[in-house]
Amino acid sequence: MTAADEGALVETGAAVLDEVSGGVAVITFNRPERLNAWGPDIAAGFYAAIDRAEADPAVRAIVVTGSGRGFCAGANLGPATDSEQQGAELDTSQTDVAELVGERPPHFLTELRKPVIAAVNGACIGFGLTLALMCDLRFAAAGAKFGTAFARRGLIGEYGITWILPRLAGRGAAMDLLLSGRTFFAEEARELGLVNDVVPLDRLLGRAVEYAGDLAANCSPASLAVIKAQTYRDGLDDVAAASARAETLMYESLTRPDVIEGITSFLQKRPPRFPPLP
């Protein structure tokens, strides 16, 4: 889980901000004073924001980012206040992991119908890295720091990171990052296939929102939902089974209005007007 560099909790308003524009929901972790370290406040706000975005027919893609210098610097295992920290020995034996993480493990993001894009603006460590990897795509700011850090904190690979990391980077690279717990940067993350693009910080959110906006404007929400589910499920099965399921899903897609609109808009050389998810 890894604790953030700053252990103090200073209330600065809503722990998570969200707004919707142009079919894109932008969800922002808002505890910059602790590098957006994960805790019950961020967890509750994040799940609520995700549920709103998933249920809102106006939302067709979701962007997740952080305020300040961090995306999410791990789980907040440290004392809640500076006064508790002074002269006190850290004791994690009574930590309620379920309360800390919240009601859902990070892999729930893979089960959403709508695409989720992480805009990694800064420190993405431990639980924060697990969360980012469970998003469907990742864009990162140049120089953003990444790391598993678990082995260096006496922890283990948590909440599915040992499932997703080898699938994205390969077993050898995953073993390196998990066993060493070393820090690496956005540029190496791109080389390893962990992020899709690296851009200057001042362009990061715009890049992620632009990509999400293209999905919202030009892709069928029904197609996005099915393709996302296919991709995560088919990776666990053999090709014959995946192909058989795809044939069934293809017939189902031909009965939806999306395919008529997709072909008609292409022939008429106009933007498509796909219906929202039911």
Pair (149, 188) in one structural domain: yes
- 């929400």: which residue's tokens? 221
> Taking the chain (278 residues) in consecutive chunks of 10 residues, what is each chunk's mean pLDDT?
38 75 95 92 93 95 96 75 43 56 84 97 95 97 95 83 93 95 96 97 97 96 94 77 76 80 86 87
pLDDT at position 10 is 35
Identify whether residues 198 and 229 lie together within a single domain: no
Give a yes or no: residue 276 inside a domain. no
What is the number of residues in the chain? 278
Beta bridge partners of 145: 185
Residue 95 is predicted with a pLDDT of 55
Expressed as residue numbers, the domain containing 248 is: 219-268
CATH label of the domain that carries residue 251: 1.10.12
Give the per-residue pLDDT at 253.
Answer: 76
Asked if 61 and 168 sit in the same domain, the reply is yes
159 closest CA partner among 187, 205, 127: 127
How many distinct structural domains can be found in the chain?
Answer: 2
Q: Are residues 151 and 252 in the same domain?
A: no
pLDDT of residue 77: 66
Query: What pLDDT score does 12 carry?
Result: 42
Q: How far apart are CA 237 and CA 242, in angstroms?
A: 7
The CA distance from 32 to 70, in Å, is 7
Which phi and psi angles does 35 have, rounded to 5°?
A: 55, 35
pLDDT at 233: 86
Q: Could you tell me which residues come within 8 angstroms of residue 204 by beta carbon, excluding any fewer than 6 positions away?
A: 65, 119, 120, 121, 139, 140, 141
What is the structure's pLDDT at 8?
Answer: 32
Q: Report phi then psi at 145, rounded to 5.
A: -90, 135
| Rounded Cα gap, residues 6 and 36, in angstroms | 10
Quick one: 198 and 133 in the same domain?
yes
Give the integer Cα–Cα distance in Å for 151 and 162. Answer: 13
Do 121 and 171 fall into the same domain?
yes
Q: Is residue 69 part of a domain?
A: yes
